[in-house]
């Protein structure tokens, strides 16, 4: 049986995966969403590794990262024997010594700089009125309004942490490119996927397909489990 662990990005929490979890459960899986503090990369890596300890010994894990979550799984999977494969969803995939900020500065075109707001105690958030436009313009307005309302406030500078040796060098890797992304340019995603040698798909969707296409996303992850990992569902249907 294969376990599925979902890792969210900045300005989000584990609830971003709610509909995807429902769809994965309908396909016979028991996915788990990690909850990141977004206070430091080190803490977030530890949070994912903590989730990995909750599965039975020998149960392979498909570890999925969205956006900043891609940088987290790149490091969290290192040295973890249970992780059998990685999947990146419109995600940052740093090489050793590289940070999320380094990658984000490769190209212009992201709407994030225009709509990020900061607090007096050095945290950030996306202007709630613009959240949908930035994160998932193709999703229902009510869904992105909910995401905006529950967004977590990352500590400023969390995106500057340099990556360690990336787990994607040694693990089977998949990448879902969001061709209409307004947060992480699709051209950058294509470069990251090519550098990793990832098995790649490209969808005409925004940065957050879990908001706009949760059923399609669940089917995509299910196919990875069944076709690439030789696994089936993690519970009896």
Per-residue pLDDT at 230: 65
Helix (H, G, I), strand (E, B) or coil at 114: helix
For residue 119, CA distances in Å to 84, 123, 153 come to: 39, 5, 9
Burial of 46 (0-12, 13-18, 19+ CB in 10 A): middle
List the domain boundaries for the chain.
3-228
Q: Collapsing DSSP states into helix, strand and coil, what is residue 220? A: helix
Determine which helix (DSSP H) or strand (DSSP E) holds 63, and give its type and residue range. strand 61-66
Tens-binned pLDDT, residue by residue, of the chain (237 aa)? 789 999 999 999 999 999 999 999 999 999 999 999 999 999 999 999 999 999 988 899 999 999 999 999 999 999 999 999 999 999 999 999 999 999 999 999 999 999 999 999 999 999 999 999 999 999 999 999 999 999 999 999 999 999 999 999 999 999 999 999 999 999 999 999 999 999 999 999 999 999 999 999 999 999 999 997 765 443 322
Q: What's the pLDDT score for residue 171?
A: 97
Secondary structure letter of residue 155 according to DSSP: B
**Which tokens sit at 159?**
């995106």
The tokens describing 95, both together, are: 């090489």
Per the CATH hierarchy, to which homologous superfamily does domain 3-228 belong? Answer: Alpha/Beta hydrolase fold, catalytic domain (3.40.50.1820)
pLDDT at 229: 74
Query: Residue 9 corresponds to which tokens in the numbers above?
Result: 């990005």
Rounded to whole angstroms, how far apart are CA atoms 124 and 131? Answer: 13
């Amino acid at each position: 049986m294969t376990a599925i662990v979902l890792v969210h990005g900045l300005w989000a929490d584990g609830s971003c995966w709610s509909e995807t979890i429902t769809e994965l459960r309908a396909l016979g899986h028991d996915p788990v969403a990690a909850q990141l503090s977004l206070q430091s990369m080190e803490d977030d890596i530890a949070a994912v590794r903590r989730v990995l300890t909750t599965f039975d010994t020998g149960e392979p894990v498909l570890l999925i990262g969205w956006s900043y979550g891609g940088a987290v799984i790149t490091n969290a999977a290192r040295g973890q024997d249970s992780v059998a494969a990685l999947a990146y969803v419109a995600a940052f995939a740093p090489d050793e010594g590289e940070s999320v900020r380094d990658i984000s500065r490769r190209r212009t075109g992201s709407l994030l700089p225009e709509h990020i707001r900061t607090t007096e105690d050095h945290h950030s958030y996306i202007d709630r009125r613009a959240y949908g436009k930035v994160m998932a313009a193709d999703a229902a307005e009510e869904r992105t309004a909910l995401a905006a309302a529950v967004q977590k406030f990352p500590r400023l500078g969390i995106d500057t942490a340099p990556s360690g040796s990336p787990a994607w060098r040694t693990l089977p890797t998949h990448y879902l490119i969001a061709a209409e992304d307004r947060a992480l340019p699709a051209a950058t995603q294509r470069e990251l996927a090519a550098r990793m040698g990832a098995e790649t798909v490209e969808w005409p969707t925004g940065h957050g397909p879990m908001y706009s296409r949760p059923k399609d996303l669940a089917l995509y992850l299910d196919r990875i489990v069944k076709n690439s990992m030789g696994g089936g569902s993690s519970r009896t249907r």
